[in-house]
Structure 1
Amino acid sequence: MRAGRVVRQALYSPRDPTVNTRRRAISISAEDKKQANLKTSYEKLLMLACANFLPGDWWVTLTYDDTFLPESREESRKYWRKSMRWYRKYRKDNKDALRYVYCTQLTTSRGGRRLHHHMILRYEDDMDQEKLESLWQWGHVHMRKLKDWDEILDKVHYMCREPRELGVYVPGEQMWTASRGLVRPQITYTTFDSDAIDISVPSGCTALSDPVQLPGYGGYKTIIYIENM
């Protein structure tokens, strides 16, 4: 899978038919499954972000005033959807597409529980900030431009931090959401006859994610790296 200079490789091998299915399922702990799902979600977001965003695009944080502070993630999503409907119309009227990825996170700072949103937003013009501030009526908007690729990668990692670091994990719940119309990473497949094939970070590239391997699924290993300039 390729997104610009970023490449994700995954190596799959068939399940061993001689291994009992129930025994194989038991050998994979719930924690192993959770960590594999979290890592896969992070890698998918990383590839999507690298295919669609560049240095100079926006890093946005949307917060809530006490008066409008939502009590649940579902309530916060209603505010989000309403503001994005308005913002999408503004972009459409100006013949610009609205492209973003966002997440909702919970902070327990200042002795309370406060939901807020983070977003990577495609830059169109310097009016983005003024317009978004006027449409987000429930709190404050903090925006700044992403200065380089390292910062894009850092923000993607940050958007996936909540379930990884704080243990806030609901099976089946998405860590992040993407807007419509994003470019999808290019995917190619190759079949090998030999079990001796392995994958590793090529020379001249930098690893962005430690290799993950989950033998219980038959054989599954992924790596992700960026090709150096």
Structure 2
Amino acid sequence: MHRYKQIEFKAGITIEVIKCIPRGCRGSGYGIPIKKKTSEEMAEANMRQASRKLARKINANFKPGDWHVVLTYRKETRPDPETAHKIIKKLIDGLRGRYRKNGFEMKYILVTEYKNKAIHHHLIINNVNDGKKTTSDYIRELWKGNGNPKFVSLYDNGEYRKLADYFIKETEKTFREGDSPVRQRYSCSRNLITPKPHSRIRKTKSLWNMDPKPRSGYYIDQESLYNGTDKLGYPYQRYIMIKINPSDKDWEPYNGFPPDIGE
């Protein structure tokens, strides 16, 4: 009989599943020799971890129809990083005021990039409609004179892992720079849901199925499926399930453990 730990994160219409060997069972023939990771390998691992945390946050708080906005500056008036930080703060404050005035709660995630390219911002924001204007109208009005915003509607499957990967890779060097006005990869509104891990110990005859079956009503994103080992050399599996027919309720706060996905 084998024992393993199953950890799940419920984020919007996604359920991230991680299966690993619990601490109490390690050293029972599962481990394999490992070498000390290089600084490059550690940096890559840290980026993956940061990307997963960001993806969960995006999945839990934003949905199809919300916006990913790229905010650029006109070449002739392109600001330095410190000035750009003040400009984008003014935009956020202005948007927050518009939302509150019309009875809406604003949610956003903000990323700024300027290393080896023209300075610009990425803004993920929930889309609203006050009956006369929408979020895109607010942004165009408040950004007028700076440049042309590009609006990309968040895609329909509700899983934004690739978008998170892009943000983390794009800002990996920028936020570490000595002249950077920010000391974090991204900033976000305080009202965002942060998915919590829920774990349990499972007992099986032969560990887990290398080709896992999704919970009823879900499908597995095959690109997210990983069968291998963790950083200590123990068996490890990770994948993401996505709900097939979602509803708005799926993005409401969730504190319980998702129903058993089966095997």
Among 115, 121, 143, the residue aligned to 2:119: 115
> How far off is 1:57 after superposition?
1.0
Among 238, 241, 249, the residue aligned to 1:223: 238
> How far off is 1:40 after superposition?
0.9
TM-score, structure 1 as length reference: 0.74
Among 139, 161, 164, the residue aligned to 1:132: 139
**Range moving further from structure 2, 198-207 or 119-128:** 198-207
The verdict on how the C-alpha distance between 1:168 and 1:87 changes in structure 2, with shifts beyond 3 A counting, is closer
Aligned to 1:21: none
Tell me how far apart the structure 2 counterparts of residues 61 and 209 of structure 1 sit (CA, whole Å). Answer: 26
Tell me how far apart the structure 2 counterparts of residues 153 and 87 of structure 1 sit (CA, whole Å). Answer: 26
- Checking the alignment, whether the CA contact within 8 Å between 1:13 and 1:220 is kept in structure 2 is no
TM-score, structure 2 as length reference: 0.66
The verdict on how the C-alpha distance between 1:193 and 1:149 changes in structure 2, with shifts beyond 3 A counting, is closer
Tell me how far apart the structure 1 counterparts of residues 224 and 83 of structure 2 sit (CA, whole Å). Answer: 34
Among 51, 57, 61, the residue aligned to 1:52: 61
Larger C-alpha radius of gyration, 1 or 2? Answer: 2
Aligned to 1:30: 39
- Checking the alignment, whether the CA contact within 8 Å between 2:13 and 2:158 is kept in structure 1 is no
> How far off is 1:219 after superposition?
5.6
> How far off is 1:107 after superposition?
6.7
Tell me how far apart the structure 2 counterparts of residues 192 and 173 of structure 1 sit (CA, whole Å). Answer: 40
> How far off is 1:159 after superposition?
2.2
Among 161, 171, 187, the residue aligned to 2:169: 161
* Amino acid in structure 1 at the alignment position of 2:193: V
Aligned to 1:202: 212
Equivalent pairs, count:
213
Q: Which runs of 5+ in 2 are unaligned?
A: 1-8, 28-33, 215-219, 245-263
Q: Which runs of 5+ in 1 are unaligned?
A: 18-23
